[in-house]
C-alpha cells in the first residue's frame, strides 16, 4: 500500500509516494500531485529509501550508557528539570530544538517552555538558519510572512539568486527555475563563489563577501534615477523614513569597487532589474548567515517594496527555507524571540496566549538565542538542557566551546533518532525519537504549503514520537490536562485554534477553517498553502497597514588581518545533509563528494605552497581543522570554502563547526557563518591509503587523516598520515589475513577474510599508486572474495569510473567524459539519451553541462 508523505530533507517540501516493500524497505517516488514538486525528486529525496534501515538507530532510552525503561528515563528528566527550576528558577533550564521537528512536536515543546515552565529559553537551530529573514520580515512587513509561492517562479521574467546555491540545496526549485529560463527568463546569481548554480546563470556577480547591502542600495539608487520606482505603490502602501533616499547615493563605480565586480556587469544587472517588473529574488544563507544578515534581508526587501515588486504574480522577494519544517517552527513561535502563532511578547499577546493555554505563567520576555544560550550553558547559568533533533556539537559556531559547555552542564538530555552523534556523547539521558518514515504530523515548506508527513513503518524498538516524549515529561512535571494529547491531530487542532484565537485579521498567520475536522480529516489532509497571496491588496500586517522601508547602510568591510588574512566561507554539498546522520547511511549519496575539501584559489595555493589533492590545515582564532585541498578558480582570491557535513564520528578533519566565531547579527542573533578570518597551511604527509570494511570499524582509524563514507554493506575510509601506520591495524576486524608488501614503493596491502568473504582491505602507500575503490567495494558483497584482492582489481583490464556524478545510475566522471568525447555529445539531453546520466532526479544536470563545456573547450 502506498503512503503519501513529504521528503525528510529540505524546505522545498516535495511530496513523496512511499510504498513499503519489506520490513524496513520502501520504494520512493515523487508525488505527481504535490504542488511543490509535481512528481520530481532530487538525488537526496530519490535515495531516502537507503536511509530507513535500523543501522545505527537509538532504539531504547539510555541513562548514561545503560538501557533504561521509558518510565525511569521520563521520570528522571521531569525530576531534574523540576528540581533545577525549584532551586535556580525557570531561567536556569533551556530547550534547543530544530526545524526538523514536525509542527506538532514543536508546538508542545514551545507550549511547555513558554507557558508552563514560564521562560522563553527555547531556541532552535533555525536561529542559525532563518532568523535574519524572520527579523527582516518583521521590520518591513510587521509579521514574518513570506509572500511568495513557487508559482511565482513560473511567472517571473527575471530570477535573482542571492547567497543561494539553489542547484545543490533546493534542487527541485532550481529545476523549476531552469524550466522558466528555458522559456526565456533571465537568471542572475549573486555569490562570491562560482557554484554550479552560478555557472548556468546569464550573469554571475562574484561579489566580495558581505557587500550585499552596497549592491542592493546601489540597485535602489539606480531604480530611483532610472524612474523605475513605483511611486503610486510607495504613496499608498509604504512608509518611507525621512532621509531614506540618501542611502542610495553611491554611484555605479563606487558600488562596483565596494562589491569588487566589474562596473559593466553591475550595470547589466541594474538595467535588467529596472526593466523587468516580474522579478523574483530568492535568498538564503549567503544573506542570512552574516553579522549584518538582517540588514542584508531588508536591503533586498527595500528594493522590492520601492519598485512595487511584491504581492504580484512573478514579482516577489522570496526567502527560501533550509529545513523541512523551518516554517512550521516559525508558525508555532519556536524561536526564543517569538511567543507563539506569529505573536511577540507584547502585553496583549502574552495575555491572549496565556488565556488560550490556560497556563499558570507565561514567559515575560524573549529568551536566550542559540549563541547566548550555549554561552550561558558554558558559564553555568543554564543547568539543565534538552536538545531535540539537532546536533549543536557540530553545527554551532565555535563548536569546540559548545562541546566544553555540554561537557560541563549538570544535566543534558538529547532526543535523537541515532545512537551515536557528536552531541549525544555529552548526554546524561538519550531518548529514542521516531524517524522520518515513522513520524506522523505536518510540515510547512518555503512557500507556506502545509503537508502531512505520514508513517510508513511501525515504530521500531522503543522509539517514540517527539510530541509524545515532550508531553510525557510535561505531564510528569505536573501539567497533566494541558498536555493530555493522544495523537498529533489533537495538537494540530489546538495549533489551528490558537492561530485564529482573538485574531481579527491583524495576524496574517491564520489556519481558519482547518480546526473543525476530525481525526480522519487530519489523516486525509491534502497539501494546502495558508495565507493566499499576502500583500496582493497592498495591505501589510503593521498597525497602519503600510510596509516599511528600513534604512540600512553597508558596514565597512574589514581589511584582511595579519595573522588571519583569508576569509572562510562555509556551506553545503549536493548529496550530503548537515551532520550526515542520515545521508551518511546512503552509499549512493556518499560518492558525490567522499572527503571534506577546502577550495582555494590558484594564486593563494601557489603562494602558500598548497598542492591540489594534498592536505591543508585551516585555522581561525577559534580552532583548526584539516581538509583536502581543491585548487579552483571558482573561489575568489583570499577566500576559502569548506563544507559543514563532517563530524568527530566521521572524520579527523573537515570539522568546520570548530572554526566560525561565536558572533551573531545584533538584531536577529544569527551567526555569521560565511565570513570568518582564517589562515591556511599545507600539511605534509608521508603516506596515504584507504580502508574498506564490511560494517564499521570498532573505532575510528587512528591517523592524521581518516574520513568515512558509507558504501554498500560497509564503509570506506580515506587515510593519510606522516608517521608509522602500525596503529591502523587496530581498526581491522579479526579473520584470515593476506598481505603484500612492496618496500620499493612503501606499499602495504592487507586483506582480511572471514568465511571466505572480504571483511576488510587496507591499502597504504608512500610513493606508489592506489587502485580505484569501486571494485574492492563491490567485493564486500561477493560470497567468495576474488583471488586478485591484493591487486585491487578484477583479472583483466582495469576499469575506473572516476568520481560518481550521476548518483541515480551510478555513473562516474570518466564514463561521462569518454561518452561525450567518443559520441560527440553536445548537450545534457544527448548525454541522457546515450548513457542515461541526468535522466532521473536531474540533480547532476548542472555538472553534466559543465563537463560538456569543459570537453568542448578542451577539444578546441
Ligand atoms: N544538499 C543539501 N541541501 C540542503 C542542505 C544540506 O545540508 N545539503 N541544508 C538545507 C538547509 S538547512 C539550508 S539552510 C539550505 C541552505 O542553502 P544555501 O543557502 O543555498 O546553502 P549554503 O551552501 O549554506 O550557502 C549558499 C551560498 O551563499 C554564498 N555566500 C557566502 N557569503 C556570501 C555573501 O556575502 N553574499 C552572498 N550573496 N552570498 C554569499 C556561499 O558561497 C554559498 O554558495 O540548504 C538546505 N538544503
Ligand atoms: N559553519 C556552518 N555551520 C552551520 C551552517 C553553515 O552554513 N555553516 N548552517 C546552519 C544551518 S542553516 C543549519 S539548519 C544547521 C543544521 O545543523 P543540525 O541541526 O545540527 O544538523 P542535523 O545533522 O540536521 O541534525 C539533526 C539531528 O536530529 C536527528 N534527527 C533527525 N530526525 C529527527 C527527529 O525526527 N527527531 C529527533 N529527535 N531527532 C531527529 C538527526 O539524527 C541529527 O542528529 O547547521 C548550522 N550550522
Ligand atoms: S528538493 Fe530534494 S531534498 Fe528538497 S524536498 Fe525535494 S526531494 Fe527532498
Ligand atoms: Mo538551515
Taking only the tens place, the pLDDT of each residue in 20-55 is 999 999 999 999 999 999 999 999 999 999 999 998
Q: Which three cell numbers stand for residue 719?
A: 587515510
Q: Is 195 in the pocket of ligand 1 (CB under 6 A)?
A: yes
Neighbours of ion ligand 4 (CB under 5 A): 129, 322
Whether residue 439 contacts residue 468, with contact meaning beta carbons closer than 8 Å, is answered with no
pLDDT in tens, 58-85: 999 999 999 999 999 999 999 999 999 9
Q: How far apart are the C-alpha atoms of 53 and 26, rounded to whole Å? A: 10
Q: Which three cell numbers stand for residue 733?
A: 576486524
Q: Which of 297, 319, 341 is the last residue of a domain?
A: 319
What rounded mean pLDDT belongs to the chain?
95
Q: Whose CA is nearest to atom 10 of ligand 1?
A: 322
pLDDT value, residue 590: 83
Q: Which three cell numbers stand for residue 167?
A: 542547484
Q: Whose CA is nearest to atom 30 of ligand 2?
A: 389
Q: Whose CA is nearest to atom 22 of ligand 1?
A: 571
Q: Which residues line ligand 2 (CB under 6 A)?
A: 98, 100, 125, 128-129, 285, 289, 322-323, 388-392, 394-395, 415-418, 421, 433, 435, 439, 466, 570-571, 578-579, 581, 644, 656-657, 660, 673
pLDDT in tens, 639-693: 999 999 999 989 999 999 999 999 999 999 999 999 999 999 999 999 999 999 9
pLDDT value, residue 857: 63
Q: Can you give the CATH number for the domain in which 847 is found?
A: 1.10.10.1100
**Sign of torsion over alpha carbons 647, 651, 656, 658:** positive
Q: Whose CA is nearest to atom 9 of ligand 1?
A: 322
Q: Is 237 in the pocket of ligand 3 (CB under 6 A)?
A: no
Q: Whose CA is nearest to atom 47 of ligand 2?
A: 395
Higher per-residue confidence, 698 vs 740? 740
Q: Which whole number is the average pLDDT over 187-194?
A: 98
Question: 640: which strand partners?
Answer: 568, 600
- Closest ligand 2 atom to Cα of 579: 23
Q: How far apart are the C-alpha atoms of 413 and 61, rounded to whole Å? A: 11
pLDDT value, residue 858: 60
Q: Is 42 in the pocket of ligand 3 (CB under 6 A)?
A: yes
Query: Which residue reads 499577546 in cell numbers?
Result: 349
Within a domain: residue 163?
Answer: yes
pLDDT in tens, 397-433: 999 999 999 999 999 999 999 999 999 999 999 999 9
Q: Which of 288, 319, 350 is the last residue of a domain?
A: 319
pLDDT classification of 175: cutoffs 50, 70, 90:
very high
With DSSP H G I counted as helix, E B as strand and the rest as coil, what are the percentages for the chain, rounded to 5? 35, 20, 45
Q: Which three cell numbers stand for residue 468?
A: 509524545
Higher per-residue confidence, 250 vs 369? 369
Regarding whether 43 and 104 lie in a shared domain, the answer is no
Whether residue 473 contacts residue 78, with contact meaning beta carbons closer than 8 Å, is answered with yes
Q: How far is the CA of 195 from the centre of ligand 1 (A)?
A: 10
Regarding whether 151 and 95 lie in a shared domain, the answer is no
Q: Which whole number is the average pLDDT over 382-388?
A: 98
Least confident of 170-174, 408-412, 835-839: 835-839
Regarding whether 268 and 158 lie in a shared domain, the answer is yes
Least confident of 472-476, 556-560, 610-614: 556-560
pLDDT in tens, 694-722: 988 878 888 999 999 888 889 999 999 99
Q: What are the C-alpha distances in Å from 587 to residues 42, 49, 583, 584, 716?
A: 16, 11, 8, 8, 10
Q: Which whole number is the average pLDDT over 780-788?
A: 90
Tally of domains within the chain = 6
pLDDT classification of 727: cutoffs 50, 70, 90:
confident
Q: Is 45 in the pocket of ligand 3 (CB under 6 A)?
A: yes
pLDDT classification of 513: cutoffs 50, 70, 90:
confident
Q: Which whole number is the average pLDDT over 585-606?
A: 92
Within a domain: residue 507?
Answer: no
Q: Can you give the CATH number for the domain in which 262 is found?
A: 3.40.228.10
Q: How far is the CA of 214 from the centre of ligand 1 (A)?
A: 20
Angle ∠(545,546,548) on CA atoms, nearest 5: 140
Q: Is 25 helix (H, G, I), strand (E, B) or coil?
A: strand
Within a domain: residue 539?
Answer: no
Q: Can you give the CATH number for the domain in which 10 is found?
A: 3.30.200.210
pLDDT classification of 750: cutoffs 50, 70, 90:
very high
Q: Which ligand is nearest to the CA of 573?
A: 1
Within a domain: residue 470?
Answer: yes
Q: Is 30 in the pocket of ligand 3 (CB under 6 A)?
A: no
Within a domain: residue 650?
Answer: yes
Q: Is 322 in the pocket of ligand 1 (CB under 6 A)?
A: yes
Q: Which whole number is the average pLDDT over 231-254?
A: 92
Q: How far apart are the C-alpha atoms of 498 and 489, rounded to whole Å? A: 14
pLDDT classification of 564: cutoffs 50, 70, 90:
very high
Higher per-residue confidence, 857 vs 446? 446
pLDDT classification of 225: cutoffs 50, 70, 90:
very high
Q: How far apart are the C-alpha atoms of 750 and 105, rounded to whole Å? A: 49
Please, what's the b/e burial string for 355-381 (b: 16 or more CB within 10 A of its CB; e: otherwise)? ebbebeebbeebbbbbbbbbbbbbeeb
pLDDT in tens, 268-322: 999 999 999 999 999 999 999 999 999 999 999 999 999 999 999 999 999 999 9
Q: How far apart are the C-alpha atoms of 781 and 758, rounded to whole Å? A: 8
Regarding whether 434 and 377 lie in a shared domain, the answer is yes
Q: How far is the CA of 604 from the centre of ligand 1 (A)?
A: 24
pLDDT value, residue 856: 64
Which residue among 5, 10, 436 is best mutated to probe the pocket of ligand 3, counting the most ligand atoms within 8 A of its Cβ? 10
Phi, psi angles (nearest 5°) of residue 580: 60, 20
Regarding whether 279 and 406 lie in a shared domain, the answer is no
Q: Which whole number is the average pLDDT over 515-544?
A: 94
Q: For residue 54, give the nearest of 27, 26, 24, 21 by alpha carbon.
A: 24
Within a domain: residue 66?
Answer: yes
Phi, psi angles (nearest 5°) of residue 398: 50, 50
Residues of the chain above pLDDT 70, percent: 99
pLDDT value, residue 326: 97
How many Cβ atoms are within 10 Å of 2's Cβ, its own excluded? 14
Asked whether residue 250 carries a pLDDT value surpassing 80, the answer given is no
Q: For residue 777, give the nearest of 685, 855, 681, 710 by alpha carbon.
A: 710
pTM of the model: 0.95
Within a domain: residue 344?
Answer: yes
Within a domain: residue 510?
Answer: no
Q: How far is the CA of 24 from the centre of ligand 3 (A)?
A: 21
Q: For residue 165, give the nearest of 195, 209, 188, 135 by alpha carbon.
A: 195
Regarding whether 706 and 598 lie in a shared domain, the answer is no
Q: Whose CA is nearest to atom 12 of ligand 1?
A: 322
pLDDT value, residue 798: 63
Q: Whose CA is nearest to atom 2 of ligand 3?
A: 42
Regarding whether 266 and 141 lie in a shared domain, the answer is yes
Query: Which residue reads 511530496 in cell numbers?
Result: 15
Regarding whether 135 and 120 lie in a shared domain, the answer is no
Q: How far is the CA of 289 from the centre of ligand 1 (A)?
A: 9
Asked whether residue 766 carries a pLDDT value surpassing 80, the answer given is yes
Regarding whether 136 and 7 lie in a shared domain, the answer is no
Asked whether residue 204 carries a pLDDT value surpassing 90, the answer given is yes
Q: Is 320 in the pocket of ligand 3 (CB under 6 A)?
A: no
Q: Is 325 in the pocket of ligand 1 (CB under 6 A)?
A: no
pLDDT value, residue 36: 98
Full residue range of the structural domain in which residue 839 is found? 804-859
Q: How far is the CA of 427 from the centre of ligand 3 (A)?
A: 31
Q: Can you give the CATH number for the domain in which 384 is found?
A: 3.40.50.740
Q: Which of 431, 461, 485 is the last residue of a domain?
A: 485
Regarding whether 138 and 33 lie in a shared domain, the answer is no
Q: How far apart are the C-alpha atoms of 63 and 430, rounded to whole Å? A: 7
pLDDT value, residue 502: 97
Asked whether residue 860 carries a pLDDT value surpassing 70, the answer given is no
| DSSP symbol at 340 | B
Q: Which three cell numbers stand for residue 78?
A: 521531569
- Closest ligand 3 atom to Cα of 8: 8
pLDDT classification of 499: cutoffs 50, 70, 90:
very high
Amino acid at each position: 500500500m502506498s503512503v503519501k508523505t513529504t521528503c525528510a530533507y529540505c524546505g522545498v517540501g516535495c511530496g513523496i509516494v512511499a510504498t513499503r516493500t519489506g520490513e524496513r524497505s520502501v520504494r520512493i517516488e515523487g508525488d505527481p500531485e504535490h504542488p511543490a514538486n509535481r512528481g520530481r525528486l532530487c538525488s537526496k529525496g530519490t535515495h531516502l529509501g537507503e536511509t530507513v534501515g535500523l543501522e545505527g538507530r537509538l532504539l531504547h532510552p539510555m541513562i548514561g550508557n545503560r538501557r533504561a525503561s521509558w518510565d525511569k528515563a521520563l521520570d528522571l528528566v521531569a525530576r531534574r528539570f523540576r528540581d533545577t527550576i525549584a532551586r535556580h528558577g525557570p531561567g536556569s533550564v533551556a530547550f534547543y530544538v530544530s526545524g526538523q521537528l514536525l509542527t506538532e512536536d514543536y508546538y508542545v515543546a514551545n507550549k511547555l517552555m513558554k507557558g508552563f515552565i514560564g521562560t522563553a529559553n527555547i531556541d532552535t537551530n533555525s536561529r542559525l538558519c532563518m532568523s535574519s529573514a524572520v527579523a527582516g520580515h518583521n521590520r518591513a512587513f510587521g509579521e514574518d510572512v513570506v509572500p511568495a509561492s513557487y508559482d511565482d517562479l513560473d511567472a517571473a521574467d527575471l530570477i535573482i539568486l542571492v547567497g543561494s546555491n539553489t542547484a545543490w540545496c533546493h534542487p527541485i526549485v532550481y529545476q523549476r527555475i531552469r524550466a522558466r529560463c528555458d522559456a526565456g527568463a533571465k537568471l542572475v546569481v549573486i555569490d562570491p563563489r562560482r557554484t554550479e548554480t552560478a555557472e548556468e546563470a546569464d550573469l554571475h556577480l562574484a561579489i566580495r563577501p558581505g557587500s550585499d547591502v552596497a549592491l542592493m542600495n546601489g540597485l535602489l539608487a539606480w531604480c530611483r534615477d532610472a524612474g523605475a520606482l513605483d511611486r503610486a505603490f510607495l504613496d499608498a502602501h509604504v512608509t518611507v523614513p525621512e532621509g531614506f533616499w540618501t542611502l542610495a547615493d553611491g554611484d555605479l563605480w563606487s558600488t562596483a569597487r565596494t562589491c569588487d565586480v566589474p562596473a559593466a556587469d553591475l550595470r547589466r544587472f541594474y538595467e535588467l532589474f529596472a526593466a523587468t517588473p516580474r522579478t523574483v529574488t530568492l535568498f538564503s544563507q549567503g544573506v542570512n548567515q552574516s553579522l549584518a544578515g538582517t540588514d542584508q534581508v531588508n536591503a533586498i526587501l527595500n528594493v522590492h517594496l520601492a519598485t512595487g515588486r511584491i504581492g504580484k504574480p512573478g514579482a516577489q522577494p522570496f526567502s527560501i527555507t533550509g529545513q523541512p519544517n523551518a516554517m512550521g517552527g516559525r508558525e508555532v513561535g519556536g524561536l526564543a524571540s517569538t511567543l507563539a502563532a506569529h505573536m511577540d511578547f507584547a502585553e496583549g499577546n502574552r495575555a491572549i496566549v496565556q488565556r488560550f493555554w490556560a497556563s499558570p505563567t507565561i514567559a515575560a520576555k524573549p529568551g536566550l538565542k542559540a549563541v547566548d544560550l550555549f554561552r550561558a550553558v558554558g558559564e553555568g547559568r543554564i543547568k539543565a538542557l534538552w536538545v531535540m533533533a539537532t546536533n549543536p556539537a557540530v553545527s554551532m559556531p565555535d563548536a569546540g566551546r559548545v562541546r566544553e559547555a555540554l561537557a560541563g552542564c549538570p544535566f543534558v538530555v538529547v532526543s535523537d533518532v541515532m545512537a551515536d552523534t557528536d552531541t549525544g556523547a555529552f548526554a546524561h539521558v538519550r531518548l529514542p525519537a521516531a524517524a522520518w518514515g515513522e513520524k506522523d504530523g505536518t510540515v510547512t515548506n518555503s512557500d507556506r504549503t502545509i503537508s502531512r508527513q505520514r508513517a510508513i513503518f511501525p515504530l521500531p524498538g522503543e522509539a517514540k514520537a517527539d510530541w509524545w516524549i515532550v508531553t510525557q515529561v510535561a505531564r510528569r512535571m505536573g501539567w497533566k490536562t494541558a498536555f493530555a494529547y493522544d495523537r498529533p491531530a489533537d495538537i494540530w487542532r489546538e495549533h489551528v485554534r490558537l492561530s485564529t484565537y482573538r485574531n481579527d485579521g491583524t495576524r496574517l498567520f491564520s489556519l481558519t477553517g482547518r480546526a473543525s475536522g476530525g481525526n480522519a480529516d487530519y489523516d486525509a489532509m491534502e497539501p494546502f498553502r495558508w495565507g493566499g497571496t499576502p500583500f496582493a491588496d497592498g495591505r501589510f500586517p503593521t498597525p497602519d497597514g503600510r510596509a516599511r522601508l528600513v534604512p540600512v547602510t553597508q558596514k565597512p568591510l574589514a581589511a584582511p588581518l595579519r595573522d588571519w588574512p583569508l576569509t572562510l566561507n562555509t556551506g553545503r554539498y549536493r548529496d550530503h545533509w548537515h551532520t550526515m546522520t542520515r545521508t551518511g547511511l546512503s552509499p549512493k549519496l556518499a560518492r558525490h563528494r567522499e572527503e571534506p575539501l577546502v577550495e582555494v584559489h590558484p594564486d593563494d595555493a601557489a603562494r602558500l605552497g598548497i598542492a591540489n589533492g594534498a592536505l591543508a590545515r585551516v585555522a581561525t582564532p577559534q580552532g583548526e581543522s584539516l581538509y583536502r585541498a581543491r585548487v579552483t578558480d571558482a573561489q575568489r582570491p583570499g577566500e576559502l570554502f569548506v563544507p559543514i557535513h563532517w563530524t568527530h564520528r566521521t572524520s579527523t578533519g573537515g570539522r568546520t563547526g570548530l572554526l566560525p566565531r561565536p558572533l551573531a547579527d545584533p538584531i536577529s542573533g544569527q551567526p555569521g557563518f560565511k565570513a570568518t578570518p582564517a589562515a591556511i597551511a599545507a600539511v605534509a604527509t608521508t603516506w596515504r591509503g584507504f580502508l574498506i570494511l564490511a560494517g564499521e570499524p570498532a573505532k575510528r582509524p587512528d591517523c592524521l587523516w581518516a574520513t568515512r563514507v558509507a558504501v554498500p554493506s560497509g564503509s570506506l575510509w580515506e587515510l593519510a598520515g606522516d608517521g608509522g601506520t602500525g596503529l591502523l591495524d587496530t581498526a581491522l576486524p579479526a579473520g584470515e589475513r593476506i598481505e603484500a608488501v612492496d618496500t620499493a614503493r612503501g606499499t602495504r596491502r592487507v586483506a582480511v577474510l572471514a568465511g571466505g568473504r572480504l571483511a576488510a582491505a587496507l591499502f597504504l602507500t608512500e610513493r606508489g599508486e592506489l587502485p580505484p575503490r569501486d571494485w574492492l567495494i563491490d567485493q564486500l558483497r561477493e560470497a567468495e572474495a576474488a583471488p586478485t584482492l591484493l591487486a585491487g582489481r578484477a583479472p583483466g583490464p582495469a576499469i575506473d569510473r572516476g568520481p560518481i556524478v550521476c548518483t541515480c545510475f551510478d555513473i562516474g566522471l570518466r564514463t561521462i567524459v569518454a561518452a561525450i568525447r567518443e559520441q560527440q555529445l553536445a548537450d545534457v539531453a544527448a548525454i541522457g539519451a546515450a548513457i542515461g546520466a541526468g535522466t532521473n532526479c536531474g540533480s547532476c544536470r548542472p555538472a553534466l553541462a559543465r563537463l560538456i563545456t569543459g570537453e568542448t573547450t578542451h577539444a578546441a
